[in-house]
């Protein structure tokens, strides 16, 4: 057992030899911070009794509380049907429409209230609000077009390849109104990526835009639709209609020619449907609402299928209690709608609660590091939601910028990867001005909504820890053999969820076997069982549970480096590097070492104004040695101009691992910044290209998700 400090936090044990199945955790516990009385005074959830009501004894009936946040056409008779385990069905017998719940039902009270604030990237272009009434009109007209012009009906799939423009939620909601299953592909993805998803889900209609603003450029997006159709055809899927929204109605921003008979300008066709109203289709609760493909870097992307009733109940509930959204709030989630965060927490959750949700077209640092804070000031945003990668970027670009703007957040979210305590503290003190509570929400595309987070008015915050599980979520940490790792053990293992919950995906589109294999097979107690207790859900993340009941997520289970028998979480090392003042970003990868097996290589980028010298490198080594121990001493520290990143901002550790180990780097053209890869390669390996060779399996796979 580890010792505890006065706050009841587990003290971190010394570096110790651990078995293959465990990860040594050396991360120091941070002091906790309590929410302010002002926040508590206005919060949606202040009753700790919620956890009792959502205990396992009251499962699954407790989730009625979430379902009752929605309007049902027909109430359900069975809360959870497990007969097709592990494909869970929620609220069976119920009929519902997601679009109705996000739009129509708000009209009596809120028709004149902003549903969406749209902020174009060019700062001289006026921003505008779409009221709930206006959203209702646009969604109806577009639903009429989808039904009567595109011939789409309940159960059909349609691929959306759209950027951050209000036409995207309009399109999603119009699909939802008809029971058409939308599959939105992140706008920054290539035509090829769209094609793979079109083919996998069998779409014959593609909805896109002609272009959009990004980092000061007008992106020609129509050209991707041509590639997508061509490649999909090769994969055996014909797209017979491409519907193109114009960024500026009536004026094209793309010179890519239209394909006669296939391509249609939405804004022209829509004229025919002016004033049309389409009744929301009353749908079984367990029908699919959308597919969201996970952004795996290898292998076929997985189409996570989300339901209507369960998903909507879960995102409405978590938006209300964890995001603390009230109808009068101005809520800005800076994620992209092309990811699950945007689906759940820009579109469906906030709109189900009649909030005003902000959609920003461009990059947060365009044209300068103050842009995000000017938007916050201008719209008087009071709930802000973003990811550690963005927070690091904003901190690097303008560490003092937030101070120049008069905005006040009551609440901020971080999501997507573990946040280093150093970065958390900047978010709290500078972005939040010490006034806003922070929730660190841990979840996945597959889970539909949050799994772990503090409840903002109930729990103190602890930098770097996601917090306890949400009401109704019952995690367990297993070692390789299925033994439970208890709170305060100081050891990490595979974090699983014991019970189903309404937001969970239903299956992988068209591949039930892969769904069962990937997420349930490992710890399943009996593959024939119809009892949910026999089917813990494997998240694939490593985590440890502190004595105080807070979970610390260490990242994907594969992102570990085994140094002389010690499995080190790469996140821990990165976090240590980030305690050095000079460092803006850090990425750690394994490099083969004759004696120790693997040792860490550390890549860092510096904040502006700091010198790229030996001193900075020495500080990084010292920080890692003091936080974690000599065992974690890096082989090399490289100072790089920027990290290779995916379009969604995730650092591509796979690429860095390949460079460190002189392996084939593979295709990097889909990265946000492919050019930096060669710069880093030259820095590490020298000008001359080294012959590529195959590497050990763990290094070849490193960083894949």
CB 443 → ligand WTA: shortest distance, Å?
Answer: 5
CB closer to ligand WTA, 345 vs 366: 345
Measured distance CA(27)–CA(24) in Å, rounded: 9
506 contacts ligand WTA (rule: CB under 6 A): no
CA-based diameter of the chain, in Å?
Answer: 73
Of 656, 642, 645, which is closest to residue 188 (Cα–Cα)?
645
Q: Which stretch binds ligand WTA (CB under 6 A): 90-98, 182-190, 537-545, 625-633?
A: 537-545
Contact pattern from residue 278 through residue 297 relative to ligand WTA, giving x for each residue in contact according to CB under 6 A and a dash for the rest: ----------------x---
CB 388 → ligand WTA: shortest distance, Å?
Answer: 8
Among 141, 420, 440, 572, binds ligand WTA (CB under 6 A): 440
416 contacts ligand WTA (rule: CB under 6 A): yes
4 contacts ligand WTA (rule: CB under 6 A): no
Measured distance CA(329)–CA(313) in Å, rounded: 20
Of 463, 418, 458, 452, which is closest to residue 318 (Cα–Cα)?
452
CB 568 → ligand WTA: shortest distance, Å?
Answer: 17
CB closer to ligand WTA, 309 vs 703: 703
Q: Which residues pair with 208 in a beta bridge?
A: 161, 244
Going by the DSSP 8-state scheme, the letter that residue 422 receives in this structure is H
341 contacts ligand WTA (rule: CB under 6 A): yes
- Return phi, psi of residue 401, to 5°: -60, -45
User: Does a cis peptide bond (omega within 30 degrees of 0) precede residue 60?
Assistant: yes
518 contacts ligand WTA (rule: CB under 6 A): no
340 contacts ligand WTA (rule: CB under 6 A): yes
- Return phi, psi of residue 205, to 5°: -125, 135
Query: Three-state SS for 244?
Result: strand
- 292 contacts 183 by C-beta, under 8 angstroms: yes
CB closer to ligand WTA, 338 vs 402: 338
CB 296 → ligand WTA: shortest distance, Å?
Answer: 10
- Burial of residue 126, with CB atoms counted within 10 A of its CB: 0-12 exposed, 13-18 middle, 19 or more buried: exposed
- What would you report as the CA-atom Rg of the chain, rounded to the nearest whole angstrom? 25
Among 30, 287, 417, 585, binds ligand WTA (CB under 6 A): 417
CB 340 → ligand WTA: shortest distance, Å?
Answer: 5
Cβ neighbour number for residue 282 with a 10 Å cutoff: 13
349 contacts ligand WTA (rule: CB under 6 A): no
Going by the DSSP 8-state scheme, the letter that residue 392 receives in this structure is H
CB closer to ligand WTA, 229 vs 553: 553
CB 348 → ligand WTA: shortest distance, Å?
Answer: 14
- 114 contacts 127 by C-beta, under 8 angstroms: no
Measured distance CA(461)–CA(464) in Å, rounded: 9
CB 335 → ligand WTA: shortest distance, Å?
Answer: 8
418 contacts ligand WTA (rule: CB under 6 A): yes
415 contacts ligand WTA (rule: CB under 6 A): yes
Q: Which stretch binds ligand WTA (CB under 6 A): 177-185, 484-492, 534-542, 599-607?
A: 534-542
Q: Which stretch binds ligand WTA (CB under 6 A): 13-21, 335-343, 357-365, 561-569?
A: 335-343
- 449 contacts 77 by C-beta, under 8 angstroms: no
Q: Specify whether the backbone of 299 is left (phi greater than 0), alpha (psi in -120 to 50) or beta.
A: left
Among 186, 442, 515, 519, binds ligand WTA (CB under 6 A): 442
Q: Which stretch binds ligand WTA (CB under 6 A): 38-46, 263-271, 410-418, 683-691?
A: 410-418
CB 556 → ligand WTA: shortest distance, Å?
Answer: 5
How many residues make contact with ligand WTA (CB under 6 A)? 21
Q: Look up tokens 């900075």; give the residue.
A: 616
Q: Which stretch binds ligand WTA (CB under 6 A): 203-211, 261-269, 435-443, 610-618?
A: 435-443
Q: Which stretch binds ligand WTA (CB under 6 A): 208-216, 336-344, 376-384, 691-699?
A: 336-344
Among 134, 336, 541, 582, binds ligand WTA (CB under 6 A): 541
Residues 306-325 that bind ligand WTA (CB under 6 A): none
Q: Which stretch binds ligand WTA (CB under 6 A): 244-252, 548-556, 604-612, 676-684?
A: 548-556
Among 9, 224, 390, 466, binds ligand WTA (CB under 6 A): 466
CB closer to ligand WTA, 540 vs 590: 540
Work out the end-to-end distance of the chain between its first and last CA atoms, rounded to an integer number of angstroms.
Answer: 33
CB 184 → ligand WTA: shortest distance, Å?
Answer: 14
CB closer to ligand WTA, 495 vs 621: 495
- Dihedral of the CA atoms 640, 646, 649, 652 (nearest 10)? -50
Measured distance CA(240)–CA(545) in Å, rounded: 52
Structure tokens at 649: 């901002």
Among 63, 212, 443, 702, binds ligand WTA (CB under 6 A): 443
DSSP of 280-347: PPPEETTSEEEEEE---SSSPPPEEEEESHHHHHHHHHHHHHTS---TT-EEEE-S-TTSHHHIIIII
CB closer to ligand WTA, 467 vs 590: 467
- 386 contacts 427 by C-beta, under 8 angstroms: no
Residues 615-634 that bind ligand WTA (CB under 6 A): none
Q: Which stretch binds ligand WTA (CB under 6 A): 26-34, 552-560, 580-588, 672-680?
A: 552-560
Measured distance CA(179)–CA(162) in Å, rounded: 20
574 contacts ligand WTA (rule: CB under 6 A): no
553 contacts ligand WTA (rule: CB under 6 A): yes
- Dihedral of the CA atoms 91, 97, 99, 104 (nearest 10)? -110
- 147 contacts 123 by C-beta, under 8 angstroms: no
Among 441, 454, 570, 605, binds ligand WTA (CB under 6 A): 441
CB closer to ligand WTA, 135 vs 415: 415
| Degrees, nearest 5: CA angle 544-550-556 | 40
- Is the dihedral angle over the CA atoms 473, 478, 482, 483 positive or is it negative? negative
Query: Three-state SS for 600?
Result: strand
- 210 contacts 222 by C-beta, under 8 angstroms: yes
CB 459 → ligand WTA: shortest distance, Å?
Answer: 15
Structure tokens at 7: 């706050």
Among 493, 555, 649, 703, binds ligand WTA (CB under 6 A): 555
**Interacting residues with ligand WTA (CB under 6 A):** 294, 339-341, 415-418, 440-445, 466, 539-541, 553, 555-556
């Amino acid at each position: 057992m580890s010792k505890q400090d006065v706050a009841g936090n587990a003290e971190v044990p010394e570096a110790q030899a651990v078995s293959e199945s465990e990860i040594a955790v050396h991360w120091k516990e941070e002091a906790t911070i309590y929410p302010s009385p002002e926040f508590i005074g206005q919060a949606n959830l202040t009753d700790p009794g919620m956890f009792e009501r959502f205990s396992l004894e009251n499962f699954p009936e407790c989730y009625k509380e979430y379902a009752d946040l929605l309007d049902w056409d027909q109430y359900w008779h069975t809360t959870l049907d497990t007969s097709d385990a592990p494909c869970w069905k929620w609220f069976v017998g119920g009929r519902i429409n997601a679009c109705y719940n996000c739009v129509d039902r708000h009209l009596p009270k809120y028709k004149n209230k902003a549903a969406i604030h749209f902020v174009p990237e060019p700062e001289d272009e006026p921003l505008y609000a779409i009221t709930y009434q206006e959203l209702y009109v646009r969604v109806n007209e577009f639903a009429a077009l989808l039904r009567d012009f595109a011939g789409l009906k309940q159960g059909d799939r349609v691929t959306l390849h759209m950027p951050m423009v209000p036409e995207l939620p309009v399109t999603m909601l119009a699909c939802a109104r008809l029971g058409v299953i939308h599959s939105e592909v992140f706008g920054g993805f290539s035509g090829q990526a769209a094609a793979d998803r079109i083919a996998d889900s069998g779409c014959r209609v593609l909805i896109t835009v002609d272009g959009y603003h990004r980092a000061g450029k007008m992106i020609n997006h129509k050209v991707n639709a041509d590639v997508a159709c061509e490649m999909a055809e090769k994969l055996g899927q014909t797209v017979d209609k491409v519907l193109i929204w114009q960024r500026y109605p009536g004026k094209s921003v793309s010179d890519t020619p239209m394909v006669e008979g296939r391509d249609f300008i939405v804004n022209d066709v829509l004229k025919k449907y002016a004033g049309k109203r389409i009744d929301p289709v009353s749908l079984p609760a367990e029908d699919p609402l959308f597919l969201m493909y996970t952004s795996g870097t290898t292998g076929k992307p997985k189409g996570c299928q989300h339901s209507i009733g369960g998903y909507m109940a879960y995102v409405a509930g978590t938006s209300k209690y964890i995001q603390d959204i009230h109808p009068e709030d101005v809520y800005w989630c800076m994620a992209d709608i092309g990811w699950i965060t945007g689906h759940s927490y820009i579109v469906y959750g906030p709109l189900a609660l009649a909030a005003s949700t902000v959609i920003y077209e461009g990059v947060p640092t365009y044209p300068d590091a103050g842009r995000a804070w000017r938007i916050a000031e201008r719209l008087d945003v009071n709930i802000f939601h973003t990811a550690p990668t963005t927070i690091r970027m904003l901190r690097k670009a303008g560490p003092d910028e937030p101070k120049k703007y008069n905005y006040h957040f009551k609440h901020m979210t971080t999501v997507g990867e573990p946040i280093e305590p150093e970065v958390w503290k900047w978010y709290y003190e500078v972005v939040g001005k010490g006034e806003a509570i922070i929730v660190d929400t841990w979840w996945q595309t597959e889970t539909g909504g949050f799994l772990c987070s503090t409840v903002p008015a109930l729990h103190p915050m602890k930098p770097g820890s996601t917090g306890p599980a949400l009401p109704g979520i019952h995690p367990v940490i297993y070692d390789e053999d299925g033994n439970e790792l208890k709170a305060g053990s100081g050891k990490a293992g595979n974090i699983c969820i014991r019970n189903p919950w309404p937001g969970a995906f239903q299956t992988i589109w068209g591949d039930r076997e892969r769904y069962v294999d990937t997420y349930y097979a490992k710890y399943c107690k009996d593959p024939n069982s119809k009892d949910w207790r026999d089917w813990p859900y494997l998240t694939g993340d490593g985590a440890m549970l502190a004595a105080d009941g807070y979970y610390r997520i260490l990242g994907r289970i594969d992102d570990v480096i085994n140094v002389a028998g010690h499995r080190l979480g790469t996140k821990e090392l990165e976090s240590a590097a980030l305690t050095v003042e000079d460092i803006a970003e850090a990425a750690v990868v394994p490099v083969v070492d004759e004696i120790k097996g693997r040792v860490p290589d550390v890549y860092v980028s510096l904040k502006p104004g700091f010198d790229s010298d030996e001193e900075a490198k020495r500080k990084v080594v010292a920080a890692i040695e003091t936080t974690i121990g000599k065992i974690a001493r890096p082989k090399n520290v490289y100072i790089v101009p920027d990290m290779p990143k995916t379009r969604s901002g995730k650092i591509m550790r796979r690429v860095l691992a390949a460079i460190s180990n002189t392996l084939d780097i593979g295709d990097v053209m889909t990265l946000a910044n492919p050019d930096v890869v060669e710069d880093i390669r030259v820095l590490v390996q020298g000008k001359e290209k080294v012959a590529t060779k195959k590497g050990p399996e763990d290094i070849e796979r490193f960083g894949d998700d």
